[in-house]
């Protein structure tokens, strides 16, 4: 069951955002090629814009609760950065969000 959050009336806590990410991860709502959960997927689940969602995800990344995972968009097959709970991946990603070395192919 997908939990829906109305962020217009009350901001999500970091724990609630982690719950949303974990629900999407466990439901298999991930990018192909062993990718994680896309920012737009999470944004749609919490009814928040992509930019605001990305900012919140970066906070969780900086806290070490999530990691960057590279995969591909299931529709376009283009590579992009996505997210995974840190305890779900063997090798955490080393790329910083927005890293220009590899290119920021986020959705």
Condensed to tens digits (0 to 9), the pLDDT of residues 13-52 reads 999 999 999 999 999 999 999 899 999 999 999 988 999 9
Joined together, the tokens standing for residue 17 give 């955002």
42 and 82 Cβ atoms separated by less than 8 Å: no
H-assigned helices in the chain: 14-26, 39-46, 50-62
The pLDDT of residue 92 is: 54
pTM: 0.76
CATH number, residue 18: 1.10.10
70: in domain? yes
101: in domain? no
- Please count the structural domains in the chain: 1
2: in domain? no
100: in domain? no
């Amino acid at each position: 069951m997908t939990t829906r959050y109305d962020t217009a009336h009350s901001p999500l806590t970091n724990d609630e955002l982690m719950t949303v990410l974990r629900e999407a991860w466990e439901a298999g709502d991930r990018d192909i090629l062993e990718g994680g959960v896309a920012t737009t997927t999470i944004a749609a689940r919490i009814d928040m814009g992509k930019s605001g969602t990305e900012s919140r995800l970066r906070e969780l990344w900086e806290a070490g609760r999530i990691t960057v995972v590279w995969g591909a968009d299931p529709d376009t097959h283009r590579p992009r950065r996505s997210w995974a709970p840190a305890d779900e991946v063997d090798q955490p990603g080393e790329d910083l969000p927005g890293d220009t070395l590899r290119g920021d192919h986020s959705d």
